[in-house]
């Protein structure tokens, strides 16, 4: 392949049409670090190798394997939209490697492999309403898709975001949300688990927003991301309203080590989250025969 990164010898380009960085991490620079919410930081990255940067194209819903040199690798979803968006990742410090990442400074280097995974099925959902349902940091993998949908606003019907977090300070991407709200035809419904001083919005769980938002069931798709407990109650609510199992779409999270379907850590049923996922429909998830 003429436009491969020289990272491997085969044309591993069937997923994206472009060539992912498969075996050896490509070095990226940390240009900026922002504190997002407690425990979560956003890292803005750029490739010193501009040839690679030009070729590095993502699809909404894909992920990368990110190396913190000296600590290890972790899988992380990609919040930037495929078009005109700064390359960045938002990461919660939850394990050994992500804690090491949080200790880094601007100017430090990271390694990146990817992008991997199937991405959200944008081609199939033109003309439909999109309902985004996110809990806590579940908004991270959905961000890419929201920005993309808003950039192609005319392709879709209603676009609704139902978002819930533990408290007001746990709401991700608040500036982005403000910006999106100014977009004509973007409806947001936000809730927090418990009432708190200074909060005059909704209080309760995210599944209660479905009623509130008068969510359309026909000709709609729902992208659902969040902790399993939220996932189950939201899906139950959608199914009760008669939404089809194929129209409920989510991303699964698993331990990943290789990203290319070889190490098998992310096997769920007979599929691998890294190559067959991470985006699955509820109908698929139901037949995988495992806990989510």
Partner 1 sequence: MSMYILSSQEIKQLAQALQASHEVYGPQVDPQTQQVFFDQLDDVAALNLEAPIPSMPVKEILFPQMERILKYNYDSETQSVEMSKQYFEKPKVLFGLRPCDLSGILALDRFFLGQEFVDDVYLTHRRQCLLISNTCLNPFPQCFCVCTHSGPDADEGFDLDLTKLKDGYLVKVGSEKGQAIADAQQWKPAAAHHLTEQKAVVDHCIDLFPEMATDNKAWISRVMNRITTGFIKSETWEFIGDQCLECGACSFVCPTCSCFNIEDTQTACGECERLRMRDSCSFEGYARMAGDHNPRQPVEDRRNKRFFCKLSYSQSKKYLRPGCVGCGRCQWVCPGDIGLPNVVQYIRREITGGEN
Question: Annotated binding site for [2Fe-2S] cluster, which residues?
Answer: 258, 263, 266, 274
| Binding of partner 1 by 174 (CB under 8 A) | no
- Where in 210-269 is the site for partner 1 (CB under 8 A)? 253-255, 257-258, 260-269
Structure tokens at 192: 């927090």
Among 47, 56, 74, 156, binds partner 1 (CB under 8 A): 74
Applying CB under 8 A, the span of 6-14, 53-61, 169-177, 241-249 interacting with partner 1 comes to 6-14
Name the E strands within the chain: 21-37, 40-46, 63-68, 72-77, 88-92, 109-116, 129-135, 159-165, 186-192, 202-203, 220-225, 248-251, 267-268, 271-272, 279-281
CA 69 to chain centre: 24
- Select from 18, 44, 46, 111 the one that contacts partner 1 (CB under 8 A): 111
Q: Contacting partner 1 (CB under 8 A), which of 15, 77, 207, 220?
A: 15
CA within 13 Å, CB half, 206: 33
Verify binding: residue 38, partner 1, rule CB under 8 A: no
Q: Binding partner 1 by CB under 8 A: which of 109, 128, 158, 166?
A: 109
Dump strand ranges (E) for 181-257.
186-192, 202-203, 220-225, 248-251
Strand partners, 165: 192
Name 162's bridge partners.
Answer: 133, 189
Of the candidate spans 4-12, 52-60, 159-167, 195-203, the one that interacts with partner 1 by CB under 8 A turns out to be 4-12
Provide, rounded to whole angstroms, the least separation between the CB of residue 134 and partner 1: 18
Q: Does 3 help bind partner 1 (rule: CB under 8 A)?
A: no
Site for partner 1 contains 67 (CB under 8 A): yes
Among 34, 96, 240, 286, binds partner 1 (CB under 8 A): 96
| Residue 207 CB, nearest approach to partner 1 (Å) | 21
Closest contact distance (angstroms) between CB of 266 and partner 1 is: 8
Query: What is the DSSP track for 155-185?
Result: G-S-EEEEEEESSGGG-S-HHHHHHHHTSTT
For partner 1, which stretch binds (CB under 8 A), given 19-27, 137-145, 174-182, 229-237?
19-27
Place of tokens 């700064």: 86
Q: Which of 170, 86, 172 is nearest to 132 (CA)?
A: 172
The count of residues interacting with partner 1 (CB under 8 A) is: 48
Regarding 127 and contact with partner 1 (CB under 8 A), the answer is no
């Amino acid at each position: 392949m003429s436009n491969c990164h020289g990272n491997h010898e085969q044309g591993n380009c069937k997923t994206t049409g472009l060539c992912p960085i498969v075996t050896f991490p490509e070095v990226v620079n940390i240009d900026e670090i922002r504190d997002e919410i407690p425990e979560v930081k956003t890292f803005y990255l750029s490739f010193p190798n501009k040839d690679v940067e030009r070729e590095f194209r993502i699809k909404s819903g894909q992920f990368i394997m990110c190396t913190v040199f000296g600590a290890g690798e972790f899988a992380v979803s990609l919040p930037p939209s495929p078009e005109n968006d700064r390359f960045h990742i938002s990461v919660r410090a939850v394990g050994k490697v992500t804690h090491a990442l949080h200790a880094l400074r601007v100017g430090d280097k990271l390694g990146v492999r990817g992008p991997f995974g199937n991405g959200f099925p944008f081609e199939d959902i033109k003309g439909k309403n999109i309902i985004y349902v996110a809990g806590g940091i579940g908004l991270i993998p959905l961000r890419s898709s929201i920005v993309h949908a808003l950039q192609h606003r005319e392709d879709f019907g209603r676009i609704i975001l139902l978002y819930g977090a533990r408290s007001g300070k746990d709401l991700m991407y608040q500036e982005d949300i403000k910006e999106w709200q100014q977009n004509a035809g973007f409806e947001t419904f936000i809730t927090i688990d418990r009432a708190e001083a200074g909060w005059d919005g909704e209080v309760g769980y995210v599944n209660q927003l479905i009623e509130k938002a008068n969510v359309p069931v026909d000709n709609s798709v729902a992208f659902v991301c969040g902790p399993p407990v939220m996932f189950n109650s939201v899906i139950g609510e959608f199914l009760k309203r008669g939404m089809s199992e194929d129209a409920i779409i989510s991303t699964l999270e698993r331990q990943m080590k290789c990203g290319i379907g070889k190490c098998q850590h992310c096997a769920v049923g007979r599929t691998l989250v890294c190559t067959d996922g991470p985006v699955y429909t509820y109908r698929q998830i139901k037949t995988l025969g495992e806990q989510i």
